[in-house]
Amino acid sequence: GAVVSQHPSWVICKSGTSVKIECRSLDFQATTMFWYRQFPKQSLMLMATSNEGSKATYEQGVEKDKFLINHASLTLSTLTVTSAHPEDSSFYICSARYRTPWSPLHFGNGTRLTVT
């Protein structure tokens, strides 16, 4: 089946630094990728929708300048947490689908970010 690779699986960084998380579709062209955040024992919260070659659409309340999303190719989207703070510590996960809406979603394994 389709594989989505997310890297790194975990990262620890200091307050004020930036962290980049990569999401790659390994065997299909991901025209749309989604970025989610998940707090402990809670469900996934959609942060933004990323379409290849265009600007990401952010959900209400998500700071565009803090969570930079780039989807420059059909196989790669990146999420950069800029000037990270301890409250940004969370589990971030991406998903990807090919072209048509309502086509099956494939998820990455997530990235656990800890900001000290």
Chain residues binding other proteins by CB under 8 A are: 34, 38, 42-44, 46, 49, 91, 93, 95, 101-102, 104-110, 112
In the complex, least distance from residue 104 CB atom to other proteins, rounded to whole angstroms:
5
Q: Where are the beta strands (DSSP E) in 1-116?
A: 4-7, 10-13, 19-25, 32-38, 44-51, 57-58, 67-73, 76-81, 90-97, 106-107, 111-115
The residue among 16 and 53 lying less far from other proteins, judged by its C-beta, is 53
Q: Which residues contact 30 (CB under 8 A, 6 or more apart)?
A: 4, 52, 74, 75, 77, 96, 97, 98
In the complex, least distance from residue 88 CB atom to other proteins, rounded to whole angstroms:
17
In the complex, least distance from residue 15 CB atom to other proteins, rounded to whole angstroms:
23
The residue among 35 and 84 lying less far from other proteins, judged by its C-beta, is 35
The residue among 3 and 16 lying less far from other proteins, judged by its C-beta, is 3
The residue among 44 and 76 lying less far from other proteins, judged by its C-beta, is 44
Angle at 68 between CA 111 and CA 114, to 5 degrees: 35
Residue found by looking up tokens 């998940």 in the block = 38
